[in-house]
Chains A and B, each alone.
Chain A
Amino acid sequence: MIKVDDLSVNYGAVRALREVSFDAPTGQITAVLGANGAGKTTLLRTISGLVKPRNGDVHLDETNLIGMATENIARLGVGHVPEGRGVIEELTVEENLRLGALSAKVNLAEGLSEQYERFPVLGERRRRHCSTLSGGERQMLAMARALIARPRVLLLDEPSLGLAPQVTAQLMRTIRELCENEDLTVLLVEQNAKSALRIAHRAVVLHLGSVVANGDAQSVAADDDLRRYYLGVVVS
């Protein structure tokens, strides 16, 4: 379980996160929703140690992640798929996957065949440079690279960005399956509230760095005011 407690982050004079607190339970998808600039990406980057908070704690089970180096947080089993996906374009598909497996103590050959089974298109393109991949393929690679390390926690930043609706739907199904089969804790940051709420168990809504709603996904989805004011979803 990820427990975020009273977390505040400043960028100079700008308050990116204000006293954010919520729990992301094990084996569940917690959607983090909100408009551009709500602080969603900052939240994930703070959990990964890329951003130092002004105040507050983030616990992974019993371990406080605040103050730890990013690489050590990753080695604890926190997989972070950054916004824009972060595949290393100059490397091949397989090299990207090997990088994902390096710091985790996993069997590389097993891991590779497992990911190629899950995402067959990656197996077909394993020797290709990532600069030749399509947006959807890159997203799959970024997911596979995080999963090959057998993470306990998966932080996904806008996985649907720039993807066709069918690809997004497929991706969301995959995330849900993973979560249920592997007992993963997933934090899913999305602007696309609709598709995120469809698969999430819980939802946290951020607005200008503050939590304005925190509860199970269905009740957030059913709240017309929330949808209208914060999620940009037209209420039908």
Chain B
Amino acid sequence: MTAFLSSSFMHNIFGGLATGVIYSLVALSLVIIWQSTHVLNFAQGAMAMLATYIGMTEIDRGIGYWWCVIISVVVGMALGGLTERVLIRPLYGKPEINPIVVMVGFLGVLEALAAAIWTSTTRNITEPFSQIYYQDHGHLVFLSAFIVFQILLAIGIMLLVAALFRFTKLGLQLRASALAPEVSRLLGIRVGRMLTIGWMLSAGVGAVAAVIVASGNFGLFPTDMDGIFVAGFIAAAVGGLESPIGAVAGGLLIGLAEQFILAYWSPNVAPLGGIIILVLALMIRPQGLFSKSVSRRV
């Protein structure tokens, strides 16, 4: 058993899952916004980065790690809500390209802002758990306390979001507002408020992903979330954009693919892992692996 756990195969599995959960969180956050407002939020990664930078500023003042996580998530949610109210709300009912253009612009603004305030350097949070790999009878098992924490935190957030949508009154109203806005309003549901809450939730989930990245070995650079956003977007597209479970599965799949390509082929090709999966998925099931709808406007 020890030999198996410390094999290079399991190394790649653990490594792939660790990256994959980050992609899954970003993908999940994109799906939440897509479902409620049919906007693809290109600034999702940058918003998460900025929220985490603000959280990190506070940790520099001596608050603990968990406070930093909470502050980042709260700031992320506030930023998400504000973005919906100020930038997106005036664009409902306009051509679908409008919010995309606005959010791409917003992405640039946020990254420039972060670089202007905190300079273009990598910042990181002192990780709360050890990054040193476990050992079992002298054999390295490629899991550290931090990787375990990262995977469990991501899974915890996903379960929380799933439970919120499935079992709470708020979740029911969020789903109804996304599925049938007009009928929901006729039933007295404050659809506008639900859209704002949807954006807040999504940005909060995104912020968790950025916090995990910032806690890792390599820290967080102002543009670091761009590549993660692309992987998360591909994960969401592979999963079918409408399916939270599909988004999570897509993220894990891409994380694993990248890790195995890196290990068995070349680190230079690894970022192609997502693209390869996207092409395969589009060939087999163009509507997304987990989507129930037959076709979708593009």
**Chain A interface residues toward B at CB < 8 A:** 48, 50, 69-72, 74-75, 80, 82, 86, 88, 90-91, 95, 98-100, 102-104, 145, 149
User: Which of B183, B185, B188: most chain A Cβ within 10 A?
Assistant: B188
CB contacts (< 8 Å) of B79 on chain A: these are none
Contact B187–A102 (Cβ < 8 Å): yes
- How many residues belonging to B are interface residues under a CB distance threshold of 8 Å? 17
Contact of A88 among B179, B188, B190 (CB under 8 A): B179
A102:B169 contact, CB within 8 angstroms = yes
Beta-carbon contact of B173 and A88 below 8 Å: no
Q: Is the pair A71, B176 in contact by a Cβ cutoff of 8 Å?
A: no
Interchain CA distance A99-B173 in the complex, whole Å = 7
> Is chain B's interface secondary structure helix, strand, loop, or mixed overall?
helix
Q: Which residues of B contact A70 (CB under 8 A)?
A: 185-186
> Whole-angstrom distance from the CB of B180 to the nearest CB of chain A?
5
CB closest chain-A residue, reference B183: A86
Q: How far is the CA of A26 from the CA of B178 in the complex (A)?
A: 35
**Set A69, A75, A95, A145: member contacting B172, Cβ < 8 A:** A95
CB distance from B74 to the nearest CB of A (A): 26
The 8 tightest CB contacts between A and B, nearest first, are A103-B188, A74-B188, A70-B185, A86-B183, A75-B188, A80-B186, A88-B180, A71-B185
Query: Which residues in A have their C-beta under 8 angstroms from that of B188?
Result: 71-72, 74-75, 102-104, 149
| In the complex, chain B residues 134-190 whose Cβ is within 8 Å of any chain A Cβ | 169, 172-173, 175-176, 179-180, 182-190
12 contacts between A and B (CB under 8 A): A75-B188, A80-B186, A82-B183, A82-B186, A86-B182, A86-B183, A88-B179, A91-B176, A91-B179, A98-B172, A102-B173, A149-B187
- Residues in chain A near residue B186, CB distance under 8 A: 48, 50, 70, 74, 80, 82, 86
**Do the beta carbons of B187 and A145 come within 8 Å of each other?**
yes
Please tell me if the beta carbons of A100 and B187 are within 8 angstroms of each other in the complex.
yes
**How far is B171's CA from A194's CA once the two chains are assembled, in angstroms?**
43
- Min Cβ gap A46→B in Å is 13
CB closest residue in chain B, given A145: B187
